[in-house]
Amino acid sequence: GAGVSQSPSNKVTEKGKDVELRCDPISGHTALYWYRQSLGQGLEFLIYFQGNSAPDKSGLPSDRFSAERTGGSVSTLTIQRTQQEDSAVYLCASSSAPLNSNQPQHFGDGTRLSIL
Amino acid sequence: KNQVEQSPQSLIILEGKNCTLQCNYTVSPFSNLRWYKQDTGRGPVSLTIMTFSENTKSNGRYTATLDADTKQSSLHITASQLSDSASYICVVRLMYSGGGADGLTFGKGTHLIIQP
């Protein structure tokens, strides 16, 4: 596709349920990032993939959060046993090169997650 | 600690006027600085990327400046339009990808409102 695609665009679920968020990066982009943005707040880093491996998982807030990337393309972010504080917009970005180059990150429009 | 501080937190100006947004950082060693525009309900979009050797970079009515000695950057918007209403995010990258988040530190953004 022409840009980074995220699905679903909105997700409402009950506390305690598991959710899976999907990110389709721009074709050929090797780097993929997940961020979380709470209402009126800045972006909070979650995890970074280079190819299929995740050299930096330092931002995952708890062991309820996990992410994987297969085939160097699609990535899924899974949140188990959701809590109300997980409510936020989850943004995915991809890049064609390591970020010490001058290549920008391309962001999707996010998944708006609401935990009831 | 690597930090990026943006000011003002929010700004309201009349359509047609100019404005300048500020970004101060403590990230070191510095690799590049990025400005992003985030429309409400959308993902951030890259405006400019500058390395330490660049003092200014333009993208249409947007002009970013960088003073690597004082660790300050500004984003100047000329002849503002209603479509400029958005959050503007400053992002600074470390020279090395270590230190978490692939070396990226995000500011909390400046929320700009253009009034007719």
Q: How confident is the model at residue B30 (pLDDT cuts 50, 70, 90)?
A: confident
Which residue in the block uniquely carries the two structure tokens 């200014």?
A: B56
pLDDT in tens, A22-41: 999 999 999 999 999 998 78
Q: Which residue has the higher pLDDT, B79 or B69?
A: B79
Interchain proximity B106–A109, CB inside 8 Å: no
Task: Quote the percentage of chain A above a pLDDT of 90.
Answer: 69
CA distance to partner chain B, nearest, from residue A43 (Å): 7
Under 8 Å between Cβ of B80 and B13? yes
pLDDT in tens, A43-52: 999 998 988 8
Interchain proximity A99–B93, CB inside 8 Å: yes
Q: Which residue has the higher pLDDT, A82 or B100?
A: A82
Q: How confident is the model at residue B57 (pLDDT cuts 50, 70, 90)?
A: very high
Interchain proximity B31–A100, CB inside 8 Å: yes
Q: Which residues of A69-92 are buried (b: 16+ CB within 10 A; e: fewer)?
A: beebbebebebeebeeebbbbbbb
Q: How confident is the model at residue B101 (pLDDT cuts 50, 70, 90)?
A: low
Q: Check whether A73 has a pLDDT greater than 80.
A: yes
Q: Which of B49, B97, B102, B113 to mutate to test the interface with A (most CBs of A within 10 A)?
A: B102
Q: Which residues contact B37 (CB under 8 A, 6 or more apart)?
A: B44, B45, B47, B86, B87, B88, B89
Task: Quote the percentage of chain B above a pLDDT of 90.
Answer: 76
Which residue in the block uniquely carries the two structure tokens 């300050």?
A: B72
β partners of residue A107: A93
Under 8 Å between Cβ of A94 and A106? yes
Q: Check whether B98 has a pLDDT greater than 80.
A: no
For residue A1, the model assigns a pLDDT of: 53
Mean pLDDT rounded to a whole number for chain A: 91
Query: Chain B partners of A58 at a C-beta cutoff of 8 Å?
Result: 100-101
Under 8 Å between Cβ of B82 and B106? no
CA distance to partner chain B, nearest, from residue A87 (Å): 15
Q: Check whether B99 has a pLDDT greater than 70.
A: no
Rounded-to-integer distance, Cα B52 and Cα A49, Å: 26
Which residue in the block uniquely carries the two structure tokens 């970020």?
A: A99
Comparing alpha-carbon positions, the chain A residue that sits nearest to B44 is A107
Rounded-to-integer distance, Cα B90 and Cα B59, Å: 15
Q: Check whether B102 has a pLDDT greater than 80.
A: no
- The number of C-alpha atoms within 13 Å of A5 and in the hemisphere containing its C-beta is 8
Look up residue A113 and give its two tokens: 């997650």
Mean pLDDT of B60-65: 97
CA distance to partner chain B, nearest, from residue A35 (Å): 10
Least confident among A1-5, A98-102, A105-109, B104-108:
A98-102
For residue A29, the model assigns a pLDDT of: 92
CA distance to partner chain A, nearest, from residue B78 (Å): 23
Of A55, A99, A108, which is closest to B104 when you measure between CB atoms?
A: A99
